[in-house]
Amino acid sequence: MEQKSLNQKTLAAQTGLSPTTVGKLCRNHFDRIDNHTVKTLCKYFGLRSISELIEIEWEKDDVEGVQV
């Protein structure tokens, strides 16, 4: 969003996603993301993969004991 100088309200209006959904995504306050939302955002931003859309920020407790 920063690259396109968008605010949450504008993104919601231009994509048809609810302001609540956009706000939760921007604040990383979500447990899951549905297929429609992923496709809508990827299409809007011209992305070909969800990996370009979401970056996971692992905390130490999330990966403890996991061999990477």
Q: What is the DSSP string of the chain?
A: -TTTT--HHHHHHHH---HHHHHHHHTT--S---HHHHHHHHHHHT-S-GGGT------HHHHTT---
Q: Residue 57 contacts by C-beta under 8 Å, 6 or more apart in sequence?
A: 28
| Confidence check: pLDDT of 55 > 90 | no
Amino acid at 46: G
Instruction: Enter the pTM of the model.
Output: 0.75
* Residue 4 binned pLDDT confidence (cut-offs 50, 70, 90): low
Instruction: Quickly tell me which residue has 């403890």 as its tokens.
Output: 64
Interval 21-47: pLDDT, tens: 999 998 888 889 999 999 999 999 999
Give me the mean pLDDT over the 3-10 stretch: 83
pLDDT for 46 equals: 94
Give me the mean pLDDT over the 11-18 stretch: 96
